Amino acid sequence: MPFEPIRSLELRGITKRFPGILACDHIDLTVGEHSVRALVGENGAGKTTLMNILMGLYQPDEGRILINGREVRFRSPNDAFAHGIGMVHQHFMLVPNMTVAENVALGMKSSHRPGRLDLGSVRKRILEISERHELPVNPDAYVWQLSVGEQQRVELVKTLCLGARFLILDEPTSALTPQETDELIELLKKMSRELSVIFISHKLHEVKALSDTVSILRRGRIVFEGRTEDHSPADLAALMTGHEVALPCVECSDAPRPGGPGLLYVRDLRVRGDRGNRALDGVSLDVYSGEILGLAGVSGNGQRELAETLNGLRKPESGSVRLDGVELGGCGADAVIAAGMGYIPEDRNTEGIVPSFSVRENLVLKDVGTGGWSRAGFLRLGPISRNAATLRESFDIRCPSVDTAAGSLSGGNIQKVILARELSRRPKALVAVYPTRGLDMGAEEFIHKQLLARRAEGAAILLISEELDEIMNLSDRIAVIYKGRILKVVPGREATKRSLGLLMAGVLDE
């Protein structure tokens, strides 16, 4: 180690501007030794930009970085590594067609011998680190073969192999399942005895579980700093969004549901997955008008295939799907859309929008040939623009202009674009797949309210989610899917986390 260990790290007056955006506005932040500092804020608050500056990936327009009281200047990540600072990025920085060892070697300059790559020493280092921190990884596996949870472990091991004593973790749980998240939190708790950690998140229960102190960023400024234990998640949520946050709950009526077929009616659906496996094995569901049916389950149990089949993106082997009495099983997406189905897809960046199209264009994508948006083969730009202006206002889409490429917006705003398009079509039924995954509380609250409003207007909503809180807050009834079958359907008010958790693990009777 050429540099002394970091006892204190100070950011002073850090400012960074991007075209049209002030991402960081004179930010001061001090972090001490062996502590976990949570950096909390909504999407687009400037958290990631600030950390990229600390890593030397971005150069600040103003401000200074001090380590142990002395000013340092990071021109590239190599400078940050040399001081023992390492970062696990939100989007994994792993080259998929290389092995774990090769990925680590890329940053481990000591393995770069003249004319030869010393993978042996890299392997040894990986095994050392993975043993010391109980992070099992196989150095010779290719990254593309690994699950998301395993890739997260590889990222941690990689960062530690590069000598990090000061870890920055940018939303490390956003792609993980609830189980993987719990494991990671436990692991980080242990590691924080030896290391300093900056933990970026907007999931407040994780912040409470892990951090000693918390800093809250809002629109590029630090608005709060304090000890985590002195503040409740509700306090922190209010500080983060600038207003009181109360996630809405469904009010179930006691009136019994009508029997008979639902508005959205699924019978005996059998579907094959991408690898030829039987992904859905006889699924039957009824979703009634004015109802939210929550579909709980660990992801990978057929949710993706169900959503795709309901929306005409995957052909069923057998079975029936009806929307308001119209048979849609095996129909293409155009027929499904015409029948009045709305869809909030799992992957909002690739399935929900065309990233290079403007917000305005994305908002009319589903009806561009039919509705009032074109005449005689020409787009009617006037109505399209007015539509975009109205929806931007009513759905609070924060974008520099409606001509901005939709792909450049933050996740929450992309989701609002999708929601605006789908809901403004007044769908009879809506399939929402992980609608708030990776979003902050403000966006989550907004999306939940919109779903409940559509329910009140009589839509049949199928809500697919892994977040039990979300499912229990919103659902009239909850169905649990396990290995391509519906294990059980329970009334929402009778469900408990424990009973749902057991069902999700495939345990039918206690």
Which residues form the interface with another protein (CB under 8 A)? 18, 55-58, 76-78, 81, 87, 89, 91-98, 102-103, 105-107, 111-113, 115-117, 142, 144, 162, 349, 355, 407-408
Minimum separation from the CB atom of position 144 to another protein (A): 5
Distance CA 226, CA 405 (A): 38
Q: Which residues pair with 70 in a beta bridge?
A: 67
Nearer to another protein, 77 or 329 (CB): 77
Nearer to another protein, 105 or 296 (CB): 105
Minimum separation from the CB atom of position 375 to another protein (A): 33
Minimum separation from the CB atom of position 339 to another protein (A): 33
Token pair, residue 235, equals: 């306090």
The alpha helices in 100-142, defined as continuous H runs, are 100-107, 119-132
Nearer to another protein, 111 or 436 (CB): 111
How far, in Å, are 198, 206, 281 from residue 506 at the CA level? 37, 26, 15
Coil, strand, or helix at residue 377?
coil
Nearer to another protein, 407 or 506 (CB): 407
Token pair, residue 11, equals: 């950011």
Nearer to another protein, 53 or 468 (CB): 53
Minimum separation from the CB atom of position 259 to another protein (A): 48
Spell out the SS3 assignment of 286-335. EECCCEEEEEECCCCCCHHHHHHHHCCCCCCCEEEEEECCEECCCCCHHH
Nearer to another protein, 97 or 253 (CB): 97
Residue carrying structure tokens 């920055």: 168
Minimum separation from the CB atom of position 209 to another protein (A): 27
Minimum separation from the CB atom of position 92 to another protein (A): 8
Nearer to another protein, 86 or 319 (CB): 86
Coil, strand, or helix at residue 250?
coil
> What is the per-residue burial (b if ≥16 Cβ within 10 Å, else e) of 265-293?
bbbebbbebeeeeebbeebebbbbbbbbb
Query: For the chain, how many residues are written?
Result: 510
Minimum separation from the CB atom of position 411 to another protein (A): 10
Nearer to another protein, 93 or 313 (CB): 93
Distance CA 169, CA 184 (A): 11
Nearer to another protein, 78 or 496 (CB): 78
Nearer to another protein, 115 or 259 (CB): 115
Minimum separation from the CB atom of position 99 to another protein (A): 11
The identity of residue 239, as a single letter, is: L
Residue carrying structure tokens 């000013």: 71
Token pair, residue 503, equals: 């069902």
Coil, strand, or helix at residue 375?
strand
Measured over all CA atoms, what is the biggest interatomic distance in the chain, rounded to whole angstroms? 77
Minimum separation from the CB atom of position 59 to another protein (A): 10
Q: Which candidate, 347, 327, 343, places its Cα nearest to that of 335?
A: 327
Token pair, residue 273, equals: 């997955």
Minimum separation from the CB atom of position 273 to another protein (A): 17
Q: Which candidate, 229, 227, 236, 177, places its Cα nearest to that of 203?
A: 236
Minimum separation from the CB atom of position 91 to another protein (A): 8
Under a CB-based contact definition with an 8 Å cutoff, are residues 277 and 302 in contact? no
CA–centroid distance for 269 within its chain:
29
Nearer to another protein, 259 or 276 (CB): 276
Q: Which residues pair with 37 in a beta bridge?
A: 198, 213
